[in-house]
Amino acid sequence: MSDPRPDSASRAAILGRLRAAGDAGELPALDTAVLERRQWPAAERVARLRKGMEAVHTEFLEATPATWPAVVRAFCDHEGLANLLYGPASEAGAALAAAWAPGGPQLMPYDRPVEAFKQELFTGVEAGFTGTVGGVAETGGLLLMPGPAEPRLMSLVPPIHIALLRASTIQDSFWSAVKALGWGRSLPPNALLISGPSKTADIEQTLAYGVHGPKRLIVVLVDDLA
């Protein structure tokens, strides 16, 4: 049986024709009309995101732009957490630290290379706090862009992930989010789409949480739509 794949010469010819068509402006315009159909008012976007995420065991805490640091602290106190990992160089992390009262849970800054505190990170941290860059209403999920200020391990390693989500950043769909964040022009080096706590199932379909990541996902939903 002959190999159905084109050889290198045929492949080069195909690609050459495509490039020539593009240079001549002959490629058809991308029709995104079907992707634009799902649009909702801001309040409904919040409700849809919350419904989708609560269906997979995500927990929500309601807050305002002024009260969210106190809401995070109250949750940590109520759960009896000993510490909370945060990014001091991030906007959300700096605001949290500025409002954190002495005593109670310890704020732990992620300000070192992971090699410098790997043991503590993987065995001693009880919760991690991060910001988000948005949410997706259609499917229910958070969008994170990890970087030096908030490394990816902050949302993946601690058994509890506390995420700050501003209602105004929730987009209708993933397509809407890609446009709003400019990912069509330049993709970020790292991005996460998180819908709920880590879960997996064995061959007998027994569901377990926290095997590959946080057992709990807590979304601090900031109502900033007014």
Q: Is the pLDDT of residue 25 over 90?
A: no
Structural fold of domain 40-222: Rossmann fold (3.40.50)
Q: Is the pLDDT of residue 192 over 80?
A: yes
Q: What is the DSSP string of 19-47?
A: HHHHHTT-SPPP--GGGG-----HHHHHH
Backbone torsion region of residue 140, taken as left when φ is above 0, otherwise alpha when ψ lies between -120 and 50, otherwise beta = left
Radius of gyration of the chain (CA): 22
DSSP character for 66? Answer: T
Backbone torsion region of residue 215, taken as left when φ is above 0, otherwise alpha when ψ lies between -120 and 50, otherwise beta = alpha
Q: Is the pLDDT of residue 7 over 60?
A: yes
Name the pLDDT band for 16 (thresholds 50, 70, 90).
confident
Q: Where are the beta strands (DSSP E) in 110-157?
A: 128-130, 134-136, 141-144
Do the strands 170-171 and 192-194 form a parallel or antiparallel pair, or are they unpaired?
unpaired
Looking at residue 27, its pLDDT comes to 55
Percent of the chain with pLDDT over 90: 72
Which is higher by pLDDT, 117 or 16? 117
Sequence-separated (6 or more) residues with CB below 8 Å from residue 5: none
**φ, ψ dihedrals at 77, nearest 5°:** -65, -45
Tokens for 212? 């590959």
Whole-angstrom Cα distance, residue 121 to residue 99? 24
How high is the mean pLDDT of the chain?
90
- Averaged pLDDT, 153-179: 96
Q: Is the pLDDT of residue 53 over 80?
A: yes
Contact between residue 110 and residue 127 where contact means Cβ atoms under 8 Å apart: no
Backbone torsion region of residue 170, taken as left when φ is above 0, otherwise alpha when ψ lies between -120 and 50, otherwise beta = beta
Q: Could you read off the pLDDT of 73-92 as tens digits, one per residue?
A: 999 999 999 999 999 999 99
